[in-house]
């Protein structure tokens, strides 16, 4: 595992800032224990410094995973968040969307969220803003990007797409082999 380069750090922090905004500082400067981001085989891991020091004793080819996988870099250098980062995104999310029970299964199968399935949305959510998707019982289900602002969603018909799907907890079953 190695530290992120400056360009890699910018890509990771820009993606995270789209979802958690200024709360990104709380993710890095934790009061309980210092955490850092490390790269291993094109995957970015969120690791406590004490665990990282223990992991140094394992040879790179033998190391599979350490900490929480936040995402991976594509071959073109773009960073893609994984569903494994959902716990941290949900904890620090700036904008949230709650979906009705009849919209949970379509979302968990990888479909976008329609206005008919929308339960609530955070006020003043901008267009193309990263949001975390919750069930009506406040269980985090995934994350995506809004297609319209909060004001514009009120004018749309029930079949209009409100949130573009990026990841959901159903991926733990669908993409089991490729997640780690």
User: What are the strands, taking DSSP E only, across 41-117?
Assistant: 43-48, 68-73, 79-81, 96-99, 113-114
Binning pLDDT at 50, 70 and 90, where does residue 180 land?
low
| Percent of the chain whose predicted confidence (pLDDT) is above 70 | 99
| Percent of the chain whose predicted confidence (pLDDT) is above 90 | 63
- Residue given tokens 């919209």 in the structure block: 103
CA distance 93 to 143: 10
Q: 37 and 9 in contact (C-beta within 8 Å)?
A: yes
Q: What is the DSSP letter of 5?
A: -
Convert the pLDDT of each residue in 7-52 to its tens digit.
999 999 999 999 998 988 888 888 888 888 999 888 999 998 888 8
pLDDT > 90? residue 176: no
* Domains of the chain as residue ranges with CATH: 2-88 (3.10.450.220), 95-174 (2.30.130.10)
Q: 114 and 161 in contact (C-beta within 8 Å)?
A: yes
pLDDT > 80? residue 112: yes
- Residue given tokens 């995402």 in the structure block: 71
Q: Against a cut of 0.85, is the pTM above it?
A: yes
Number of H helices, E strands in the chain: 7, 11
Tokens of 60: 């790179």
User: What sign has the CA pseudo-torsion 109, 114, 117, 118?
Assistant: positive
């Amino acid at each position: 595992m190695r530290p992120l380069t400056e360009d890699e750090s910018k890509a990771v922090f820009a993606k995270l800032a789209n979802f958690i905004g200024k709360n990104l500082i709380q993710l890095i400067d934790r009061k309980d224990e210092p955490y850092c981001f490390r790269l291993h085989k094109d995957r970015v891991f969120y690791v406590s410094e004490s665990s990282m020091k223990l992991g140094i004793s394992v040879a790179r080819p033998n190391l599979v995973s350490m900490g929480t996988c936040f995402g991976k870099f594509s071959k073109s250098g773009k960073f893609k968040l994984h569903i494994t980062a959902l716990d941290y995104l949900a904890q620090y999310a700036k904008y949230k969307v709650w979906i009705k029970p009849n919209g949970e299964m379509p979302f968990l199968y990888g479909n976008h969220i329609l206005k008919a399935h929308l339960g609530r949305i955070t006020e003043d959510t901008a267009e193309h803003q990263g949001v975390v998707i919750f069930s009506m019982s406040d269980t985090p289900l995934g994350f995506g990007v809004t297609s319209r602002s909060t004001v514009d969603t009120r004018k749309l018909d029930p079949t209009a797409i409100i949130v573009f799907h990026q990841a959901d907890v159903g991926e733990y079953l669908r993409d089991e082999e490729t997640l780690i």
